Chain A
Amino acid sequence: MLKDKEKDTAPIKLTHNGELTVVEFNVRKLLEENEITEMGRQLTSYIESQLKPKIIISFAGVDHLSSSALGTLITVNYKVRERDGQLRLCSINPQIYEVFLITKLNKLFRIFPTMEEAKASLEKPSS
């Protein structure tokens, strides 16, 4: 559990809804190295506590990110896949989406325009 002080400074907020975890950002710019490291630490620690993590990262409100933040997202994607989980990205503004296109990371991540579409894309457990 995060202490109150850490919650105030944490760059991301995790909300758990059943087996789905939604990640939102508390910062508009994902540029600070310490915040990017902290984001990676929070996500890795959560992923490693789950059997098959289902995570949607919403970029709503984010207007800048660095290549270092992309590197952390790649690590997160790898760790989710390693645990047979599912990761979706959504609500990415057009300028940041261009960064994903240029780097061709749109091929690596499953990206959806809205949270609803990202949720709908998640595979349901077979009954």
Chain B
Amino acid sequence: MKQTHSHRHPAVKRNCTSHSPKLWCSCDIESDIRKVRDVEEAILSQCQMHAFTDRDLFALKLAVEEAINNAIRHGNRSDTSKQIHIKYRVTPRRCDIVIEDEGDGFNPAAVPDPTSEHNLEQTSGRGLLLMRAFMNSVVFNESGNAVTLTKFNDSIRQTSRHRVAFG
């Protein structure tokens, strides 16, 4: 039976019915990519409502997919008894998403550079690079089991630049 995300994740519905742009939505989901993707869709649809550009939406989907895959596979080691905790806030100017797993965390600084000639043919290890390239900011907590992704709405930045140039 098809369900909407709000049925599966009451927390998303409860927190996001408010019109306050400062409110963070939060939800706890089992380590199943299909269930986490419902929240991803809710975030992207809010960004779309705020007229984030197509490029912003592509970047957000790419970065969130990489972050939740890391959280499920490397953080929670695909253990469905462990949860993924997601917090997000979308305003007309920016989207912030915190993705936290229940694993031991890792040291992002110790991840080898996948673009070096030596690592170019490695079949994994590019998720972090892509998140950093497509987001305005990627910040890990101290233990490395939570990442905060931030993306600014480029349509607003383009409008500001237009005003500076022609206003």
Contacts and interface: CB of A to CB of B under 8 A. Distances in A.
- Size class of the B contact interface (CB-based, 8 Å): 20 to 34
Contacts of A71: 123-124, 126
B124 A108 contact: no
B62 interface: yes
A72 B133 CA distance: 21
A68 B69 contact: yes
Given A74-B123, A103-B114, A104-B115, A67 B66 contact: yes
Interface in A55-86: 63-64, 66-68, 70-72, 74-75, 78
Given A70-B126, A99-B130, A108-B121, A64 B115 contact: no
Instruction: Give the interface SS of chain B, mostly helix, strand, loop or mixed.
Output: helix
Nearest to B58: A95
A108 B127 CA distance: 18
Contacts of A108: 120-121
B61 interface: yes
B67 to A, nearest CB: 11
A105 B121 CA distance: 9
Given A31-B65, A104-B115, A67 B130 contact: yes
A118 B55 CA distance: 27
B133 A102 contact: yes
Interface residues of A, number: 22
Contact of A64 (B55, B58, B125, B126): B58
A102 B59 CA distance: 13
B80 to A, nearest CB: 14
A74 B62 CA distance: 19
Contacts of A33: 33
Contact of A103 (B61, B65, B115): B115
B123 A103 contact: no
B55 A67 contact: no
B58 to A, nearest CB: 5
A3 interface: no
Contacts of B69: 66, 68
A67 B120 contact: no
A71 B122 CA distance: 7
Nearest to A40: B123
5 contacts: A31-B65, A66-B62, A70-B126, A102-B133, A105-B120
Given A32-B33, A102-B129, A103-B126, 7 more contacts: A64-B61, A67-B124, A67-B126, A70-B126, A71-B123, A78-B121, A103-B129
